[in-house]
Chains A and B, each alone.
Chain A
Amino acid sequence: TQLLEQSPQFLSIQEGENLTVYCNSSSVFSSLQWYRQEPGEGPVLLVTVVTGGEVKKLKRLTFQFGDARKDSSLHITAAQPGDTGLYLCAGVWDDMRFGAGTRLTVKP
């Protein structure tokens, strides 16, 4: 059973567009991590959010943790082909569990 729901499952956009992907749970997280996975490689950590309402920015990527610590979003501004990949959120409770991911394709 997936404790984390990520949406959308697939997203295909043109270079320069903005996008937002979501990670939701019915449970409160201790913290949440976002990873990006490129084809043929393992996931790589992008950010960890801990405090409800927290916003972190990583260049064109903006991560937000919901006030109730049950959800999170990742917004990408002016997407580039290099942003293509699988974006995974991982919720931390007693252990850490991954969502199924959003597979993003940015077309040049």
Chain B
Amino acid sequence: DAGVIQSPRHEVTEMGQEVTLRCKPISGHDYLFWYRQTMMRGLELLIYFNNNVPIDDSGMPEDRFSAKMPNASFSTLKIQPSEPRDSAVYFCASKGQGGALGEQFFGPGTRLTVL
């Protein structure tokens, strides 16, 4: 199993540009999560999907952030326009039908730097 795949691994962009982060969850997993990690705020849940449907997006910081899951094998997190304070490592994770006790499998993350 390839695990959760994220791309790109590193992204450097200038303020005001659009950024799109991509995630391929583990095949067969029903849940997909997007997190943001910074030294100041730790690991924050941004949004999660169940069966491709967004369930909780209360962690999305503002309207500049949007996430989609058009099918079971692909999700995107878009930031438009990007700002320097968006610089962080963004993780995607997926989980199977284990319910609340199920293990989340994390991807390697995308390190975003907004100049």
Contacts and interface: CB of A to CB of B under 8 A. Distances in A.
A42 B4 contact: yes
B4 A31 contact: no
Interface residues of B, number: 19
Contact of B109 (A41, A45, A50, A88): A41
A31 B25 CA distance: 24
Contacts of B91: 42-43
Interface stretch (B12-20, B66-74, B78-86, B96-104): B96-104
Categorize the interface residue count of chain A: 20 to 34
B101 A101 contact: no
A96 interface: yes
Contacts of B61: none
A42 B35 CA distance: 10
A48 B4 contact: no
Contacts of A31: 100-101
Contacts of A30: 100
18 contacts: A30-B100, A31-B101, A33-B103, A40-B108, A41-B108, A42-B4, A42-B106, A42-B108, A42-B109, A43-B91, A43-B106, A45-B104, A48-B103, A50-B101, A95-B45, A95-B48, A98-B43, A100-B41
Query: Lowest 5 CB-CB distances: which A-B pairs, in order?
Result: A42-B106, A100-B42, A98-B43, A45-B103, A92-B100
